[in-house]
Chain A
Amino acid sequence: MKLLCFAHRNEAKTFFDRLKLSPLDTSLNLFKSKNEFILISGEGIQSTTELLSIVLSKYENISEIINYGIAGSLDKSLKENSIFSIRTVYQYFDDFSFKSHTSHDKQATIDLISVHKRIYSPEDKLKLSIYAHLLDMETWALASVAKRFKKKWKSYKTVSDSLDEATKCQQIANEAKFYSDLFWNHFINTKEQSPLSESSRNLILENSSLYFTHTQAHQIRKYCKSLILRDPSFLESFTSSKKYKSIVESEKSRKEKSKEVLNLLATDYDPITFKELQRTQKVFKSLKNQYLNFDHSEYIEKNSIKFKGQFKSSNDLRNIIRTLEKINIDELKGKSKDV
C-alpha cells in the first residue's frame, strides 16, 4: 500500500475531499482510504522523522511513500504551478550534511535541499542553490526514514516563491487549496502508471526434463542475466540450439542433463576461464590419490597449488613425493601463465 505524506493538512485538502478517508490514529495524524494511507507529518525534519518512523514501524504493509508539498525555489528557471519530481535530496543544518538520498523516480531531474529553519535571505538561498533547485523543511527526513525502513519513496513539489523574494508564508497558506488541487490532479494522472513487473521467466529452469538444485538454479540465473545483457534474445537462441536440444532430448538422467546444460552455459558465459578450469581440474583429479588431495579452487587466480597430504610410513612419503614430482608447473599454468 502507498503512504501519501503531506506536511500540512491544507496541502492535502482535496485528497480529504475526494478520498473516503477515515482517521486511523489521530495522535499520528494518520488517515486511511481503501487503497492509501495519508499522513500529515507536520512541519520540519524532527516532526517528519518521528511520525513517519512510528507509522512505518506499525504498518508494515506500506511499500512506497509518496510525498507532496510546497517548496521554495532556488532556480529562476523553474516555472510556478508546475509539479517537479525530486531526484536527490540534501540537508543543511548550520552546514551541509554529507548524506544525500535519491528517490526511486528514475526520470526525476530536480534536486532539493531540506533545511531546519525558514530561509528568507536571497544570500542564503544562493549558497544553497549550489546543490539544489528547491528548498523545503521535510523531504530529507522522509527520505532518510524511508531508506532506514527500506521503502521506496518519491517526492513531488510545486514552487511557492522565487529566489529573490522573501518567503511569504501567509500568502502560501492562503493558496493551499490551489496547491492541493494541483497535487490531486497529479496524483490521479500518475496513479495508474505503475511499471510492469519484470519477467522472471526462464525457459531453461522451466524445462521439465531438467532438474536443477537450488545452487544450480542460482548459477543458471546468474549466467542468463549476463548472457542476456550481451544478447537480449540469448535465451530463445540458446534453447533452440542443436546442442541444447540434444542434451535435453537425450536418454540421460535429469540430473546429468542439467549438469551438461549448466556446463554449456558456463562455456558461453566465460569460455576461456571455463576451459582452463576444466583442464586444471582434470590434472588435479589425475594426481589425486589416497595420500594427497588437491584444492584447485584458488589455482586459477593465484597460480599456487594447495594440497593436503597424509602419510604413515616412509613408503607413503615416497609416493607423495613421486606424485608431486609429476606436476609440470609450466604446463599446468596454461592460460594462467602471465604475459
Chain B
Amino acid sequence: MNSKANLKMFKKVLVEKEVLNNPNTIHILSKLPKAKPIIIDDLDQYWGKVKKPYLQKRDNLNLFIGKKRGTLVKPAPDAYGVSGDPHYYFIHSYNCIYECQYCFLQGYFHTPDLVLYVNHDEILKEIKSILVEHPNAWFHAGEFSDSLALNHITNEWSQYWDFFKNNPKAKLELRTKSVNIKNILPLEPLKNVLLTFSLSPQDPSKEFDLKTPSTRAKIKAIKQLSDAGFQIGIHFDPIIYSEKLQIQYTQLINDLLENTNIDQINYFSLGVVRYTKDVYRQVELNYPDSKLHSHPYIKSFDNKIRYSRPMRNWLLSTVKNILLSKDVHESRIYLCME
C-alpha cells in the first residue's frame, strides 16, 4: 500500500503529545508523509468521546497514535484458544480498516476511529512479568484489531521477535485477515510465533468480509509464509450457514492443504457466527439487507445471539469432518467459543 492510499485511508491523524518522540510514532508518521498530525494532550479526550457511527469508517476514518495505559496484557476468555496453557491477549491497537459485516467491533466501541498504541516496550515488560508464573502462556494480538493489516505502516512485530526467541516456551499469535506480510518474511521463523489467518470460502467472504483480501490472496500469503518456515494457524471462524457449505469448505480446505505444508499448520480453530445483543443490533442497523439475517438466530446458553444448537453442531461437524477426511489429526482441531 503506498502513502497516497494511506493518506486517503485516514481523514485526520492525531498524536498524543507524550508519544510524539517515541521511535514507533516517528516511524508511523514517516509512512504518512502527507498527513498533518494534530497534537493532542490525551487520546481519551477525543477517541470514543462522541458516538460516531460505525459506517463512517468508509469515508471519515481518523487515526490516533497514543500510549496504552492501564492493564496492557489481559487473560483471554474461556475457550479462546488451544486448551491446556493459559491464554492472554494484549492491546496494541483498537479497530480495524476492514469491514466484516459480523464484526463485533461495530458494537463494542463507540467509534470506528483507529488507535495505534506505540508503547510496545511496556507491553513486552508486562508479558515478561506474566511469564514468571506462566512460562508456557500464549499471547494473542489482534483481539481488537487486525494484527497485520497496517503492519506496512507500524512494523511493530520485529520488536517482539527477539523477546519470543529468548522465551521459547511462550507463544505469540498474530491473528489476521490481511496478506500484509512484507515485513514479516525477512524475520527469522520461530517455532513459538504463529501467524494465524481467519479464512472463509471465497463466496461468503466476498459477501460478508468487505475490503479484506480475497481468499485466494490469503492462501497465497499462507503459502509464502509456510514455504519460508513460519508456523501457521487457521481460524475457520465465523462459519456462516450456506446451502453449499460442504462444497465451499471442501474446496477451501483442498486449496489450503495443496498450498501449505500441513506440518506447519499448528491448529484449525472452528467457530460459528455469534454476536452479543448490542453487536447484533448494530449489524441489523448497519447491514439491514445482509444475507447474515437470512438464517434464524436464537439467544443461546451464554446470552449470545447464535444459530440453534443443532445448526451449530451441524456446521461444526461438517467442517471438522472435512478436515478429518483430509488426514488432519483431531488433536489439531479445536472449537472456539463453543
Contact = CB atoms under 8 A, between A and B. Distances in A.
Contact of A229 (B60, B62, B294): B294
B9 interface: no
Query: Looking at B38, B295, B300, which has the most chain A CB atoms within 10 Å of its CB?
Result: B295
Majority secondary structure, A binding face: mixed
A336 B309 contact: yes
Nearest to A337: B313
B215 to A, nearest CB: 21
Interface stretch (B46-54, B115-123, B228-236): B46-54
A88 interface: yes
A129 B301 CA distance: 45
B8 interface: no
Contact of A335 (B300, B301, B310): B310
Interface stretch (B22-30, B131-139, B259-267, B314-322): B314-322
B308 A273 contact: yes
A300 B294 contact: no
Contact of A301 (B14, B53, B295, B309): B309
Interface in A323-337: 334-337
B56 interface: yes
A118 B12 CA distance: 24
B110 interface: yes
A338 interface: yes
A334 B62 CA distance: 50
Contact of A230 (B56, B294, B309, B320): B294
Contacts of B12: 129-130
Contacts of B309: 300-301, 303, 336
Interface stretch (A93-101, A143-151, A165-173, A182-190): A93-101
B335 interface: yes
A98 B322 CA distance: 48
Contact of A226 (B53, B293, B311, B317): B293
Nearest to A111: B60
Contacts of B52: 88, 100, 131
Interface string B276-303: 0000000000000111011110101100
B315 to A, nearest CB: 9
Nearest to A92: B50
Query: Looking at B46, B289, B296, which has the most chain A CB atoms within 10 Å of its CB?
Result: B296
A300 B308 contact: yes
B310 A226 contact: no
B59 interface: yes
Contact of B294 (A126, A130, A226): A226
A111 B113 CA distance: 15
A339 interface: yes
Contacts of A66: none
A33 to B, nearest CB: 34
Interface string B324-338: 000000000001001
Nearest to A227: B294
Contacts of A275: 310
A111 B12 CA distance: 14
A226 B320 contact: no
B53 A102 contact: yes
A302 B293 CA distance: 23
Given A90-B50, A300-B308, A303-B309, A272 B314 contact: yes
Interface bin, chain B = 35 or more
Contact of B313 (A90, A129, A227, A335): A335
Contacts of A301: 298, 300-301, 308-309
Contacts of A272: 308, 310-311, 314
Contact of A88 (B46, B56, B301, B313): B56
Contact of B314 (A109, A129, A229, A335): A335
Interface string A263-287: 0000001101101100000000000
Query: Looking at A100, A226, A302, A339, which has the most chain B CB atoms within 10 Å of its CB?
Result: A339
B51 A100 contact: yes
Contacts of A87: 53, 56
A96 B314 contact: no
Contacts of B289: 229
A135 B332 CA distance: 56
A270 B295 contact: yes
A243 B52 CA distance: 49
Interface string B14-40: 100000000000000000000000100
A227 B291 CA distance: 9
Contacts of A339: 313, 316-317, 320, 335, 338
Contacts of B301: 301-302
Nearest to B289: A229
Contacts of B313: 335-339
Contacts of A335: 310, 313-314
A130 B38 contact: yes
Contacts of B290: 229
Contact of A273 (B49, B311, B316): B311
Contacts of B335: 339
Interface in B201-257: none
A296 to B, nearest CB: 13
B49 A229 contact: no
A270 B51 contact: no
A199 B35 CA distance: 48
A272 B272 CA distance: 15
Contacts of A269: 295-296
Nearest to A275: B310
10 contacts: A95-B49, A99-B50, A99-B51, A126-B38, A129-B12, A130-B38, A229-B293, A276-B308, A301-B301, A336-B310
Given A87-B53, A273-B307, A273-B308, 11 more contacts: A90-B50, A109-B59, A111-B60, A229-B289, A270-B295, A276-B310, A301-B298, A301-B308, A335-B310, A339-B313, A339-B335
Closest 9 CB pairs of A and B: A335-B310, A229-B294, A276-B310, A273-B308, A339-B316, A230-B294, A96-B49, A100-B51, A226-B294
